[in-house]
Amino acid sequence: MTGATPARHDGPALLAAAEDLFEQLVAWRRAFHQFPELAFEENVTAARIIEALSAIEGVEIVKGFGCPTSVVGLIGGDLPGKVLAIRAEMDALALDEETGVPFSSCIPGVMHAAGHDAHMAALLGAAVLIAERRQDLQRPVALLFQPAEEGKGGARALVQSGLIKRFNVGQVVAPLLWPNSPYGTFMTRPGVITALSDRIHIEIRGVGGHAALPHVTVDPILIGAHIILSIQSLISRELDPLESAVISFGQVEAGEAYNIIPETGHMWGTLRAFDTGVRDFLKDRLQALVPAVATAFRGSAVLDYTRNYPQTQNDPELTAALQRCAHEFFGGEQIGSLAKPLLSGEDFSFYSLEVPSCLMLIGTGEEVGLHHSRYQVPEEILPLAAAWEAFMAMSLPESLTEGVL
């Protein structure tokens, strides 16, 4: 390699090249943001990704593996060794946007409020950087644009369809742009990094009637309120205080008129925990408590409990190698600490069950949190994210006993 050619692990050179892509990164991100799509419906999004990848020399595109809207871009597919897969999520959230930005969502009730628009743009930028330097790659790289992270298990669909074997994947990594953390800081941890995440649906049945005659009805709304309060007591009074768990209800539906007590009600929620024993204990208690509370108020209730995402386990050796890479790329002063795992759920966990994987965070400095109608990603961070992904592709060795390349 001549002195005029950037070393494959030259972080400043990659970042400078990514800065040159800033306008394109912003354009990609805004296009994704303006036309968000829900899980497994990312048809326009997939078409935009395919169009962008098709313009990059050296990228082999695989469309629709595992589900119709997935896109995989392969670089260096003829190289020996196992593939490093870098994941970006594609789907948006069912949320009305309130940011007021000129490129706000054009789709009523759908918004990119978890940074997936920025993740996709950054990975496209990384594709440009890696493809331009593909002669320096030491192993093949897969750019994995994954549908349906938000509760629908897109990663599970890809893994069950044989993604790991089909693409000879040896490791999977995923940077998340993370609010409420200092701008440009890198954070991760070995072992458990995100909680298991399950889904709860409760159907309540009562006796409907006139709101002025509650004594001849059985009010499912009242029953639902008591069920929610009783469930919170499971956390505060039946779970070991040294254990962690959260049960939250984000959707409650009952009735169609202000003066009619409805016949039925529905509640949807989620349980998060780090320990499967805690989950099993709380599930058993929910199955006993929910119908008992409803019976006490002369109604009935049925619990539908779905095990959704397992914990995400960061491989210790891969995480240590990435932390070494991060020290070189970000600088030691930008390496933050993640002392505790996150109670958020991630379907990245399905990759971590199959091959060494690492989920990591890059702080955005934003105060508005994920899944909020005013959530935004600062666009100036896009070159940093793209350059970091390219740096991982160029520098992370297949054998984790080796140093950074």
Which residue, 158, 119, 125, 118, is CA-closest to 53? 125
Out of 263, 379, 380, 398, pick the active-site residue. 379
Out of 309, 351, 375, 389, pick the active-site residue. 309
299: Cβ–Cβ under 8 A, 6 or more apart, which residues?
Answer: 204, 205, 206, 207, 218, 219, 220, 223
Cα(403)–Cα(405) distance, integer angstroms = 6
Identify whether 183 is a catalytic site residue.
no
DSSP letters along 170-230, please?
A: EEEEEEEEESSS-TT-EE--SEEEE-EEEEEEEEEE-B-EETT-GGGSB-HHHHHHHHHHH
Cα(252)–Cα(311) distance, integer angstroms = 27
Separation in Å, CA 211 to CA 215, 258, 280:
9, 8, 39
Identify whether 379 is a catalytic site residue.
yes
Q: How many Cβ atoms sit within 10 Å of the Cβ of residue 110?
A: 20
- Please give the DSSP secondary-structure letter assigned to residue 393: H
Query: Active-site residues: which are they?
Result: 309, 379
